[in-house]
Structure 1
Amino acid sequence: MAIMRCIRLEPSQSMTVDEFKAWLRTYDDNHDGRISQEELKEALHALRIWFGSWRTKKAMESVDSNHSGTIDSAAEMEKLVKFAQKNLHMKIYES
């Protein structure tokens, strides 16, 4: 898993939903099973996505349905996948 974090992903790179989730979990620094806004921001900055901080804020507003400040459910993770496909132009497909 730690190796995957070192690999530089491009937003245009194709990956499965499971690969996207596994890659995102590498940014779960405190290993609590949730992705915080700060962890998501770090992941987007690693992709070198323009306006990463702003897009992180928009993603959390769109995805965090219980307003906990984290992406902490399967439903929210699915929303994040859809957000990444639509707003970040990432090519994420079902396996």
Structure 2
Amino acid sequence: MAIIRAVPSARGMSVEEFKEWLKQFDVDGDGRISKGELREAIRRRGGWFATLRAGRAVRRADRDNSGYVDDAEIENLVAFAQKDLGMKISSW
């Protein structure tokens, strides 16, 4: 059974903390985030319309059209999370 860490706090988090939080949803351990994995992350955060938002996030962040968000594209996912999910993520 996987240990699920807490939902990001209201104080915000750094990009590194965001990556670490997101890693727990990488169920197949390939180092990339799929739409399904991102949907679960959005659900755990309490977000509504998780399937719709996850699809939109992957389309915006996935620059090589692989269907996954990898480390090279994580900044695009950070921008989406800040703008569309209301997450507070800073580069400190």
TM-score (ref. length: structure 2):
0.89
Task: State the match for 2:71 in structure 1.
Answer: 73
Q: Which has the higher contact order (CA 8 A, sep 6+)?
A: 1
Contact 2:14–2:89, Cα closer than 8 Å, also in 1: yes
- Aligned partners of 1:31 and 1:61: how far apart in 2? 21
Q: Give unpaired runs (5+ residues) of structure 2.
A: none
Q: 1:94 is matched by which residue type in structure 2?
A: S
**Divergent runs of 4+, >3 A:** none
Q: What is residue 5 of structure 2 aligned with on the other side?
A: 6
> Aligned equivalents of 2:56 and 2:86: distance in 1?
14
In the alignment of these two chains, the number of paired residues is 91
Amino acid at match of 1:45: R
Normalising by structure 1, we get a TM-score of: 0.86
In structure 2, distance between residues paired with 1:92 and 1:8: 13
1:73 deviation in Å? 3.5
Structure 1 unaligned segments of length 5 or more: list them. Answer: none
**Partners of 1:13 and 1:90 within 8 A in 2:** no
